[in-house]
Chain A
């Protein structure tokens, strides 16, 4: 019995508890514990990734209660990828935070670990209600992290974020309830079987539940018309928290991909591809509005937040194309966009601290104290985000664009992706020139960037050249992942096996 699958959940949980016990201890101690635990997640994630690399599934049967009765954790290529991504993002964010941002309120590190626990749990669980629970874990931790430190902007954005997500949680429960009410199960693999077998009398109810899930995940993922809360919330958060939040939207994306490939995928009978018709136009509209929002942004952090929205639109448009190549491209793009958004948020933090009272506002101000360094990093990130060769954004977009076959979809995707790329180019050039060229003639007084913070930024931004350099192996993996997702029979078999699942019938015996 190997317990590695559950470690990405337990390790942060235990670390958080240790940090809670040590809440009176020194900050250095907390940082040490937190950093060590977070650093351990990366090899752990890689180990898990290696286990499923060849296409195997890892199923961890919690409490020794077989699926679909108990809760199972399921490790497949997608979940392993998300675990690794989380680890890759969180360590630099934490490094950055460990130079002061963790000190503006109590208990940053414990909350950070709780957040990681929630994220990893959400990526691993094979049970829909358990997914709800982990959503709540990561949400409540994110509420607390978002509000870490103080400030009216944070309170206002936080209030909106929290209230909307509470409604979202309610809708999630309505959806889970309906699904249970019709299928009598909560295990996602079992749900897939039951939904596929649903008759025409039940299909509309299941469709309602499925689309409710889409609403919930779209709220998390920040899809039109439910993304409006995001820019303020993300730009109000402290830099490392915003960086970590780069993956929060991806949890929504992950859930959409998981649920709509496994439960409501092509093989779901009457409910096949239930969400795609909605997803496609909304994703493209999100892309456009996100790009326009970025152009309109008056602060760098807001701009980056809109870039997150753009990336979500791109990703979901890719998923809505409903083919393996497009999904593979989207997953590659997911890695790229998450890490770059994280890196940009951290970089924005550096710029903010060096620009004095003007912060990251996009109008002429005092120059930063390290224009060459920060400028080059910004340039690198901009090239990557805009999608210019040779960095990862270019490859991601190219993969996506080449995955679509000519037709109406082709025209829309090409026009919008390229157009938004152009908008992003203009947006980032303007921002870059405001931040680094059109500076006032004032000698910068801010101290140079701290090494830890810089390390955080560089580690994340280095992903652009690295993802580009190792595009082939990464893309090979995402291709395999996409292939696995579009063949859910393997997942279902790994979870349920050949067992005959006894069912208790309620209601039928009363029929005449």
Chain B
């Protein structure tokens, strides 16, 4: 259980600084440090057991389906990484206390720590993932460890403050991928695919990283690319796949972490003291900060693989392993050669790091006089550098147990014999080291010519720029593609929708004997054509007549009354739309649209024809049967609307209410230019409210109201119903608006249309809820025949109340819509626009 504390304490530490920020920087540093320290202590407490070869496991099932468990598994490798993360993290906290200026948020370090801890220290063991391929893992691992071709993001993150990059680059974040490789090493390694993928990637990364490191003028850039290179080296080692290569890999992880962290901190100190990281401006700093210079030199020597420092040991092992990798047959010489080349480059940039910064001429254009940093800022560097030396000189006494433990758990088996001695005699690896050292120094001496050559070969594009170039191309291509696909034209999108419809109907019906077995009726009918609104009215009328012809009086009534309101609506809109629109479609476009429209028409007609000539077995018999006994109404269509499928109708009037409500919101505050003349330039007539019209529409209102009441009441038994009645009422009222104007009518209609609409829906809904009282589901209807003396038999049906709700909704929303549209002219500026 304490294992989980190792993770959660630093996590807590990450959250604390933002909370303690008011208490000052020291408190922040202390709080974060204390927690990390505690975690480290717990880790150390467990370490003896690990060194003894035990594996401490704390497992909490996470997602067993994927074999994902939240398993904390403290074995050698885990211990190594945890030590690196916590130990270096602790030192960084101390360092950051002095490095970050007052204005930098302390929380940001914590923020990274959080992600770091999450990303690397969570040990997600993916036991069951083995059928899942290598590629994903490698992809993940390579992305994380900044391997080629993903190595660009790492130097790119250089904007981060130095402690953060120190931590990120050397110790932890980027090694998450390496950790993944190491963790999965026993399971995945040893195949040809593994070798070529991992070794190939590693080699490419080693060389590219080293090459770029040499040509970076920015200190941190150099270190960042060097990190890329070293990670490549570790990857390469895991790729070779032998147990000893794995040992070398693990060993190099340790060594790299120590020297690279100290170098990053040294770079930070230099940046802090001189205000620049550009090596062309730096130089001669030995005079100002000898102590720091010494520390940096030791670390750099280790990075270069100079004997007596820890980097040398793992590099020797690396050389030895490249010589033994036998996968490549007669090309086996290639790997050692490339390894030597990489080492040579690494020597060159290490020398450059030291010489260009601490020796030679300079510093140039420095505003302040550099001096040694505060004491405690150097302590972390000293600790790490001491480690470099100790490990380098006394490997067997220092790092061996940890290495053995970590490597054993990496390889997953007993390790073969290996020796951590400094001196192995005159061997091929030693020769390679020597070549690298001498060659590196020579290369450094030739640096100015090389820089010129580099600038000529890659005038603009260094690797990062290449990546940027490639990315920019991809982005440009995406821009182009997206803009080409999404040209913002409704016509295009609508065309695609229609084409989709055409395709699905077409492919489905193609080749089908479309005509079914049912014989046809004889023909009697009419056809249509004309200008738009007019055509629409004609169509509306024709459709209504068709509804009548096919025994649907309710539909004819509805269609007709909707028709009236729609025409009013369209006429209202036409006023504000240009009377003349420029012809925009090209002939080709009109042909295309014509074909598309024709095809769509044909396909829908085919669909209709196909269905109409087939027999139908429908559930409707039930409605005809149950309408009177169950629904209490003889107009089956209406009973379906208010009873069998009353829920649809509730939704439908809700739609109407929302539309009205939305239109009200949409038109509020809208100002439209009102044309002062019609399309031909004629000024409007002066007679706003023609006498005959207003004189007839006023007495018509009571008559229409009575008719609408009649239609409402009889709807349950004969054609009619709330919707039609509502429209009749609304049209009669709108007629008053047309005949006498908004102000006149509004004075006489003291209703809040919104509330009227809402009350309609509410009545309908509450009618439905009322059935709960009788332990029936929502919208269960009930009806009763009441016999009154003298007056006769009356039916009272709850569905009628529902229909009243429909009626009110329709009246309210229609008035809300049309009155608001009509009102537009009142608020719009007249005569603003002339045709």
Contact = CB atoms under 8 A, between A and B. Distances in A.
Q: Do chains A and B touch in the complex (CB under 8 A)?
A: yes
Interface of A: 1, 3, 6, 10, 13-14, 17, 20-21, 23, 60-65, 68-71, 105-107, 110-111, 114, 117, 121, 129-130, 133-134, 136-137, 140-141, 143-144, 147-148, 150, 156, 159-160, 163-164, 167-168, 171, 174, 177-178, 180-185, 190, 201-202, 204-205, 207-208, 211-212, 214-215, 218-219, 225-226, 228-229, 231-232, 278, 289, 292-293, 295-296, 371-372, 375-376, 379, 383, 388-390, 395, 398-399, 401-402, 414, 418, 422, 425-426, 429-430, 437, 471-472, 475-476, 479, 501-508, 510-511
B763 to A, nearest CB: 10
Interface stretch (B105-113, B206-214, B341-349, B543-551): B105-113
A510 B611 contact: no
B668 A106 contact: yes
A141 B654 CA distance: 10
Contacts of A414: 133, 135-136
A228 B63 contact: no
B615 A505 contact: yes
A208 B486 contact: no
Contacts of A143: 662
| Best-surrounded residue of A13, A64, A143 (most CB of chain B within 10 A) | A64
Nearest first, the 8 A-B pairs at minimum CB distance are: A504-B621, A144-B662, A184-B618, A211-B504, A208-B508, A296-B478, A181-B611, A507-B615
Contacts of A21: 755, 758-759, 762
Contacts of B765: 10, 13-14, 17
Contacts of A379: 111, 115
Interface stretch (B251-259, B679-687, B724-732, B773-781): B773-781
Contact of A503 (B66, B617, B780): B617
Given A63-B781, A226-B497, A372 B108 contact: yes
A177 B604 CA distance: 11
A208 B509 contact: yes
B570 interface: no
Contacts of B507: 211
Interface of A is mostly: helix
Given A133-B651, A181-B614, A503-B617, 8 more contacts: A105-B668, A133-B647, A137-B655, A208-B505, A215-B497, A215-B504, A293-B486, A425-B143
B200 interface: no
Contacts of A398: 66, 68, 132
Interface stretch (B511-519, B533-541, B556-564): B511-519
Contacts of B477: 292
Given A111-B662, A178-B611, A163 B494 contact: yes
A278 B483 CA distance: 25
A506 B616 contact: yes
Interface in B126-167: 129, 131-133, 135-136, 139-140, 143, 153, 159
Nearest to A291: B478
B379 to A, nearest CB: 28
B481 A289 contact: yes
Contacts of B500: 215, 218, 225-226
Contacts of B478: 292-293, 295-296
Contacts of A167: 494, 497-498
A181 B616 CA distance: 7
Nearest to A421: B139
A229 B769 CA distance: 39
A479 B643 CA distance: 38
Contact of A511 (B474, B604, B615, B616): B615
A479 B65 contact: yes
A69 B644 contact: yes
A160 to B, nearest CB: 5
B777 A215 contact: no
A173 B665 CA distance: 28
Interface stretch (B117-125, B215-223, B449-457, B711-719): B117-125
Contacts, number: 322
Contact of B662 (A140, A150, A182): A140
13 contacts: A1-B775, A107-B664, A121-B651, A130-B645, A130-B651, A147-B662, A181-B612, A182-B611, A184-B616, A228-B485, A228-B496, A504-B622, A506-B618
Nearest to B654: A137
B491 to A, nearest CB: 10
B475 interface: yes
B501 interface: yes
| Best-surrounded residue of B136, B611, B754 (most CB of chain A within 10 A) | B611
A389 B70 CA distance: 12
Given A60-B777, A429-B153, A129 B665 contact: no
Contacts of B119: 388-389
Interface of B: 18, 61-66, 68, 105, 107-108, 111, 114-115, 118-119, 122, 124, 129, 131-133, 135-136, 139-140, 143, 153, 159, 471, 474-475, 477-479, 481-483, 485-486, 488, 490, 492-494, 496-498, 500-501, 504-505, 507-509, 512-513, 516-519, 604, 607, 610-612, 614-624, 626, 630, 643-648, 651-652, 654-655, 657-659, 661-662, 664-666, 668-669, 754-755, 757-759, 761-762, 765, 769, 771-772, 775-781
A196 to B, nearest CB: 15
B482 A471 contact: no
Nearest to B129: A402
A473 to B, nearest CB: 10
Given A1-B775, A296-B481, A507 B518 contact: yes
| Best-surrounded residue of B508, B610, B662 (most CB of chain A within 10 A) | B662
A370 B754 CA distance: 42
A427 B65 CA distance: 31
A62 B778 contact: yes
Given A147-B666, A402-B132, A178 B658 contact: no
Contacts of B518: 507-508, 510-511
A289 B615 CA distance: 45
Contacts of B479: 296
B466 to A, nearest CB: 14
Contacts of A20: 657, 661, 754-755, 757-758
Contacts of B666: 144, 147
A14 to B, nearest CB: 7
Nearest to A24: B752
B229 to A, nearest CB: 22
| Best-surrounded residue of B500, B518, B648 (most CB of chain A within 10 A) | B500
B255 to A, nearest CB: 27
Nearest to A402: B132
Contacts of A293: 478, 482, 486
B156 to A, nearest CB: 8
A127 B486 CA distance: 35
Contacts of B647: 62-63, 71, 130, 133
Contact of B493 (A107, A160, A507): A160
B815 to A, nearest CB: 15
Contacts of A6: 777-778
Contact of A228 (B486, B618, B758): B486
Contacts of B657: 20
Nearest to A1: B775
Contact of B648 (A14, A130, A147, A389): A130
B64 A472 contact: yes
Contact of B664 (A1, A106, A278): A106
Nearest to A429: B153
A217 to B, nearest CB: 12
| Best-surrounded residue of B471, B659, B755, B778 (most CB of chain A within 10 A) | B778
Contacts of A62: 646-647, 777-779
A137 B661 CA distance: 13
Given A133-B655, A472-B61, A63 B644 contact: yes
Given A105-B668, A144-B662, A17 B622 contact: no
Given A21-B758, A219-B497, A429-B153, A117 B778 contact: no
B620 A1 contact: no
B65 A399 contact: yes
